[in-house]
Structure 1
Amino acid sequence: MEHDIHIKKAVLHILDTSINFPVFSNSELELDGEILEFLEKHLAKILEDTNLKKAQFVGEANPARDVCAVVKDDEGCFLEASNALGGMIFDMMLKNVDITPADLICCLFYINNEQYLGILKLNYKTGYTHYVNQLEEGASNSIIRHKTLLPSDGQKVEEAVLISMETGQLKLLEKLYEINGAKEFYLSQYIFNCSTDLSQNQKLKIIDKVTQKINKKYYDEDFDKVAKLKKVVSDSLEENKEIRVDAIAEEIFEANLAVREEYIQEIQKAGLKDETIEIPEKIAEKKFKTHKIKTDTGIEINFPLSYYDDRDMIEFFNNPDGSISIIIKNVSKITNK
């Protein structure tokens, strides 16, 4: 999906826990060509990220929500609000050393004319560059290690929060870190205090995991069931750009009503309550257009799902001795990869 992104203002703060205090900027970034392009590319990538979750503020007392409300009422408070949010995150980082140091970009921007407050945590990357040391006898070139490199515009931002100034709803990218001895999402649980929906990636993982579980329990890990799942999903996406859990269960497990019911219950128990799931085209192309199988003899076959039930292209035979034969048909040329 194309997003029309317009950035109005932005500021960069340094949240490097190695120096024990945040370095807040007193002035906004100059949004010239390169900086503007850098931010726009990262925002576009965040919006397309399959791990992006929708979220809603919760709780009667919520300092982060209050800060966002101040910006909504008065954009002149943008710098002060960004300092407040940066301070909340930095305090959490100081108390939990597992959280990656970063530069924090706060920005006010529009997505298709809807205004958002964006918080992009640009986690530091380690890299190497040259260093020129000027000596009396001339330059001495060496290689040094940088621990505070920012992700390039071609890399992913791992943590970000986008808050709609119109609806108050959030879009959230977050990482698990060790907090008080357990892996937790600190952005949603401790900073923004919000309830989150499942990301598209999480929804697909639940469907995949439950399908494999039921398949193993009732069908002895029949590869046909897995291929059929992908085919059902692929066909549904071709027609409607979405999938229905009950339709998947009906197609895969057919007349076995007890298994169908258990399948749906297991999916709901895993946290997926949606009856209908929208799947971005990028995921559909990657996960549901091809199918890969591997035999116990070490042969791997990767074929388009459209061939799954096309006997003119590929056919599977169950032999009397329990083995399976695979015939690939109508091949005019074989190339080495």
Structure 2
Amino acid sequence: MDYDIHLKKAVLHILDTSINFPIFSNNELELGGEISEFLEKHIQKILDDVNLKKAQFIGEVNTARDICAAVKEDGNCFMEASTAFGGIIFDFMLKNVDITPADIIFCLFHVNNEEHLGLLKLNYKTGFTHYVNQMEGGASNSLIRHKTLLPSDGQKVDEAVLISMETGQLKLLEKACEINGAKEFYLSQYIFNCSTALSDNQKLKIIDKVTQKINKKYYDEDFDKVAKLKKVVSDSIGENKEIRVEAIAEEIFETNLAVREEYIQEIQKAGLKDEPIEIPEKIAERKFKTHKIRTDTGIEINFPLSYYDDREMIEFFNNPDGSISIIIKNVSKITNR
């Protein structure tokens, strides 16, 4: 999805725990040209990321919420707010060494005319670059290793928080890090103190996992049920751009009410409520447009889901001996890959 993104202001702070203190900038970034393009591309990627989670501030006392409210009330406190957030995050990083050192960019920007406060954590990456050493005999070129390279505009940002100044809703990309001996999402749990919803990717994983579990339990991993699930989801996306769990269960398991009910209960236990699930186009293309099967004889077939129940294109036969025959029809050309 294309978003209309316009940056208003931004500042970069250095949170490198190897030097034991943060380096806060006293000046905003000069926006325009490559810098604005770099940030806008990353914000676009964040908004399109299938792991992005919606969230809401919680708790009667919430420092992060108060800082955001101050920026909303007076945009002139942007720099002060960015330093406050940077200090909170850096202090937490010092106590939890599993969190990756990074440069953090705070920015104010509009997405489709809605103002947002953004935090982009640009985790350091290691890489090599050339180094020219001028010597008496001329230049000596060598390689040096940089440990503080930032992600390019073609790469993904691992961690980010976007807060709507209008609604107060948050959108997060976060990584689980070891906190007090256990993997936890520190941005939502400790820095911003917010409750998070499941990401689109998590929702689809739940549906896929529960479907496989029920399929294995009742249908001996019948490939037909898996293909049918993907076909039902694909058709629903094509018509409504969303899916509903109960509608899927009804179509897949048809008259078997007990299995259908168990399927819905398992999905609800995993945290997925019966509400429409919007499926981003990228996921739909990758997960629900084709189906891949593998036989015990080593043959793999990847075919468009629209062919699943089209007997003019592909047909499956159950043989008397329990084996399955597959006929691929109306092929005019075969190419090697």
TM-score tier by shorter-chain length is: over 0.9
| Cα separation, 1, equivalents of 2:305 and 2:336 | 22
Q: Which amino acid aligns with 2:74?
A: D
Q: Which amino acid aligns with 1:252?
A: I
User: 1:145: how far off?
Assistant: 1.0
Is the 8 Å Cα contact of residues 14 and 104 (structure 1) preserved in structure 2? yes
TM-score, with normalisation over the residues of structure 1? 0.99
Q: Name the structure 2 match of 1:300.
A: 300
Is the 8 Å Cα contact of residues 246 and 274 (structure 2) preserved in structure 1? no
Q: Which amino acid aligns with 1:35?
A: I
State the identity as a percent: 85
Q: Structure 2 vs 1, CA of residues 171 and 274 (structure 1 numbering), >3 Å: closer, same or farther?
A: farther
| Cα separation, 2, equivalents of 1:2 and 1:202 | 23
1:257-307 deviations in Å (ceiling 9; x for gaps): 000000000000000014211111111111100000001111110000000
Deviating above 2 A after TM superposition, structure 1's stretches of 4 or more consecutive aligned residues are: none
1:231 aligns with 2:213: no
User: 1:32: how far off?
Assistant: 2.2
Q: Name the structure 2 match of 1:151.
A: 151
| Cα separation, 2, equivalents of 1:259 and 1:194 | 36
Unmatched 5+ stretches in structure 2: none
Q: Which amino acid aligns with 2:230?
A: K
Q: Name the structure 1 match of 2:167.
A: 167
| Cα separation, 2, equivalents of 1:320 and 1:20 | 72
Q: Name the structure 1 match of 2:41.
A: 41
Unmatched 5+ stretches in structure 1: none
- Aligned pairs for 1:132-147 (under 5 A) are 132-147=132-147
| Cα separation, 2, equivalents of 1:304 and 1:113 | 39
Deviation larger for 118-127 or 275-284: 275-284
| Cα separation, 2, equivalents of 1:151 and 1:233 | 35
Q: Which amino acid aligns with 1:317?
A: F
1:277 aligns with 2:277: yes
User: 1:242: how far off?
Assistant: 0.6
Q: Name the structure 2 match of 1:76.
A: 76
Is the 8 Å Cα contact of residues 246 and 275 (structure 1) preserved in structure 2? no
Q: Which amino acid aligns with 2:261?
A: E
Deviation larger for 136-145 or 56-65: 136-145
Secondary structure of 2:107's counterpart equals strand
TM-score, with normalisation over the residues of structure 2? 0.99
RMSD: 0.6
User: 1:239: how far off?
Assistant: 0.6
Q: Name the structure 2 match of 1:110.
A: 110
Q: Name the structure 1 match of 2:25.
A: 25
Deviation larger for 135-144 or 172-181: 135-144
Secondary structure of 1:69's counterpart equals helix
Secondary structure of 1:47's counterpart equals helix
| Cα separation, 1, equivalents of 2:267 and 2:216 | 15
Q: Name the structure 1 match of 2:120.
A: 120
- Aligned pairs for 1:177-188 (under 5 A) are 177-188=177-188
Q: Name the structure 2 match of 1:51.
A: 51
1:176 aligns with 2:176: yes
User: 1:136: how far off?
Assistant: 1.8
Q: Name the structure 2 match of 1:244.
A: 244
| Cα separation, 1, equivalents of 2:90 and 2:316 | 58
| Cα separation, 2, equivalents of 1:143 and 1:184 | 37
| Cα separation, 1, equivalents of 2:254 and 2:205 | 22
| Cα separation, 2, equivalents of 1:336 and 1:35 | 44
Secondary structure of 1:78's counterpart equals helix
Is the 8 Å Cα contact of residues 233 and 248 (structure 1) preserved in structure 2? yes
| Cα separation, 2, equivalents of 1:32 and 1:167 | 28
- Aligned pairs for 1:204-223 (under 5 A) are 204-223=204-223
Q: Which amino acid aligns with 2:250?
A: E
Secondary structure of 1:287's counterpart equals helix
